[in-house]
């Protein structure tokens, strides 16, 4: 994909925006972009540089993402809303064309990686609660204050916040001159292949050490990471607003990553904020269990969509007839009684039993967690609680000592639909 219209190839030490940002190492990539750790020579801080592919359709979507991100950042001057911040943006011309670049605050690993470090066993419930609070804070902010839907919420798009600021790291003092020197020499026209190589190696090593010490636990062996999971104050932010849209102007018909897709999207019955709530519940389940809540596959005589609907009904009971037959695609999957045409026998396994029997949560923990999730997984989107309502749910405000019943005042009394 490193061709005309595609990704921009970056090497360690490359500079951007008139020399302001110096590339350090690749952090990740997606369908549209590569993301690099870069050193901001103006603020002496590390940033994440998201470099979009150059073809016009990618440029268009980057412009949209910049617009959404600017809105998010401008309306959260105190940086309290658990969403990624846009620091700067610019155009960069390379051999493959012109690339829009977003400068984002530098965050840690995503929570899918965290689940992996924990060997897919699921995180302790008090950590799940902390992460859920961050995600809900972000959703409440974008939904209620900004009228924006994320439409691609999933563990990969939730990033941990590094508590160690790399710019305060002693390594910086070594990294910075190294990079400046590389550039200085290049500018001075000195033949310096060997020196440059050495310097870059040092820069790489320095950055590797930073990342090894980062809270995100990059490169830490599994057993070590497992212990880490226990000692961390889990704070995180929602990222990747490339598919976000204003509720007043929904963009695509098919939104969301398959496993986190709401039933109204599968059936094409129209959608709004409640699709993010559905994805949130799927994400919370995955954090606690290490497994996806719904992982549909096409089978003999039925499609992936049909398997998905069947899995939902296994866990949540029969879909009300009105909802089952109410979408543009309903006729493909359901008969007029609201039964799936091609998957007839659906065995019901209630969520609290799944949590206790398969995932070994205590009966009490399983019941409380299920009580929190079930209303968010209502087949009727209008019945799902909002992020604001979820934030007041007693399960989130339960501390290990207090027990759910002892939460006092309004919060304890508040019940969301269930
Ligand atoms: P997608 O195909 O998912 O739409 P994308 O091209 O929009 O991808 P992102 O999802 O924004 O790109 O970023 C790709 C990856 O880069 C992320 O999964 C993450 O690992 C890393 N990344 C993105 N932003 C940051 C950041 N601010 N700090 C650290 N790492 C980041
Ligand atoms: Mg992404
Ligand atoms: Mg994206």
Q: What is the pLDDT of residues 245-271, one digit of tens each?
A: 999 998 899 999 999 999 999 999 999
- Inter-residue contact 387 to 144 (CB < 8 Å): yes
- Residue 259, Cβ neighbours under 10 Å: how many? 18
Specify the pLDDT at position 224. Answer: 45
Q: Is the CB of 107 under 6 A from ligand 1?
A: yes
53 pLDDT band, cuts 50/70/90, is very high
Q: Which of 14, 40, 109, 152 is catalytic?
A: 152
- Inter-residue contact 87 to 104 (CB < 8 Å): yes
**Opening angle at CA 143, ends 137 and 148, nearest 5:** 120
Q: Which atom of ligand 1 is nearest to the CA of 35?
A: 16
pLDDT of 173 above 70: no
Q: Of the segments 100-104, 232-236, 343-347, 407-411, which one has the largest average pLDDT value?
A: 100-104
pLDDT of 401 above 60: no
- Inter-residue contact 196 to 173 (CB < 8 Å): no
Gap between the Cα atoms of 152 and 162, Å rounded:
23
118 pLDDT band, cuts 50/70/90, is confident
5 pLDDT band, cuts 50/70/90, is confident
| Listed residue (157, 162, 112) closest to 139, CA to CA | 157
Quote the crossing angle between the two packed helices 274-289 and 363-373, to the nearest 10°.
160
ipTM over 0.85: yes
User: How many Cα atoms sit within 13 Å of 87 on the Cβ side?
Assistant: 18
The percentage of residues in the chain with a pLDDT greater than 90, rounded to a whole number, is 72
321-325: long-range contacts (C-beta < 8 A, 24 or more apart)? 323/263, 323/264, 323/267, 323/269, 323/379, 323/380, 324/267
The percentage of residues in the chain with a pLDDT greater than 70, rounded to a whole number, is 78
pTM attached to this predicted model: 0.83
Residue 26 DSSP SS3: strand
Structure tokens at 190: 């000195």
pLDDT of 177 above 50: no
- Ligand 1: residue of 1, 10, 26, 30 to mutate (most ligand atoms within 8 A of CB) is 30
Specify the pLDDT at position 402. Answer: 52
Residue 103 DSSP SS3: strand
Q: Which atom of ligand 1 is nearest to the CA of 242?
A: 7
Specify the pLDDT at position 400. Answer: 64
Atom 27 in ligand 1: which residue has the minimum CA distance? 106
Residue bearing tokens 């749910």: 393
- Inter-residue contact 229 to 117 (CB < 8 Å): yes
- DSSP secondary structure string, 212-257? HHSTT-TT--HHHHHHHHHH----EEE---TT-EETTS---SS-S-
Atom 14 in ligand 1: which residue has the minimum CA distance? 29
Atom 6 in ligand 1: which residue has the minimum CA distance? 30
Residue bearing tokens 């990079």: 179
User: How many Cα atoms sit within 13 Å of 79 on the Cβ side?
Assistant: 8
Q: Is the CB of 242 under 6 A from ligand 1?
A: yes
Sorted by sequence, the CB contacts under 8 Å of residue 402 that are 6+ apart come out as none
More reliable by pLDDT, 212 or 336: 336
């Amino acid at each position: 994909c490193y061709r005309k219209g595609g990704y921009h190839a970056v090497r360690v030490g490359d500079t951007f925006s008139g020399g302001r940002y110096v590339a350090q190492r690749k952090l990740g990539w997606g369908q549209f972009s590569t993301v690099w750790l870069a050193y901001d020579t103006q603020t002496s801080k590390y940033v994440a540089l998201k470099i979009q592919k150059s073809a016009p359709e990618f440029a268009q979507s980057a412009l949209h993402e910049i617009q959404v991100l600017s809105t998010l950042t401008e309306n959260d001057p105190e940086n309290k809303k658990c969403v990624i911040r846009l620091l700067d943006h610019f155009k960069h011309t390379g051999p493959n064309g012109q690339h829009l670049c977003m400068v984002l605050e530098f965050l840690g690993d995503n929570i899918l990686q965290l689940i992996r470090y924990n060997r897919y066993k699921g995180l302790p419930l008090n950590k799940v609660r902390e992460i859920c609070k961050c995600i809900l804070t972000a959703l409440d902010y974008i939904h209620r204050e900004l009228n924006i839907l994320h439409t691609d919420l999933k563990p990969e798009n939730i990033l941990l916040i590094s508590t160690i600021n790399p710019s305060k790291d002693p390594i910086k003092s070594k990294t910075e001159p190294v990079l400046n020197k590389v550039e200085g020499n290049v500018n001075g026209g000195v033949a310096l292949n060997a020196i440059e190589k050495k310097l870059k190696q040092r820069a790489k090593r320095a950055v590797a050490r930073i990342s090894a010490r980062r809270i995100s636990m990059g490169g830490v062996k599994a057993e070590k990471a497992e212990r880490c999971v226990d000692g961390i104050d889990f704070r995180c932010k929602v990222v990747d607003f490339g598919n976000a849209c204003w509720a007043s102007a929904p963009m695509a018909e098919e939104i969301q990553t398959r496993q986190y897709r709401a039933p109204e999207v599968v059936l094409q019955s129209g959608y709004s904020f409640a699709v993010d709530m559905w994805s949130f519940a799927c994400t919370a389940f995955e954090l606690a269990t290490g497994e996806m809540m719904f992982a549909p596959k096409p089978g003999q005589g039925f499609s992936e969509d049909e398997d998905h609907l069947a899995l939902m009904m296994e866990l949540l009971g029969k879909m009300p007839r009105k909802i089952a037959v109410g979408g543009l695609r309903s006729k493909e999957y359901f008969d007029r009684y609201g039964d799936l045409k091609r998957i007839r026998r659906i065995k019901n396994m209630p969520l609290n039993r799944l949590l206790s029997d398969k995932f070994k949560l205590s009966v009490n923990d399983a019941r409380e967690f299920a009580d929190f999730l079930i209303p968010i997984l209502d087949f009727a989107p209008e019945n799902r609680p909002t992020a604001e309502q979820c934030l007041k749910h007693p399960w989130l405000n339960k501390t290990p000592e207090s027990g759910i019943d002892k939460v006092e005042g309004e919060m304890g009394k508040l019940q969301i639909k269930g």
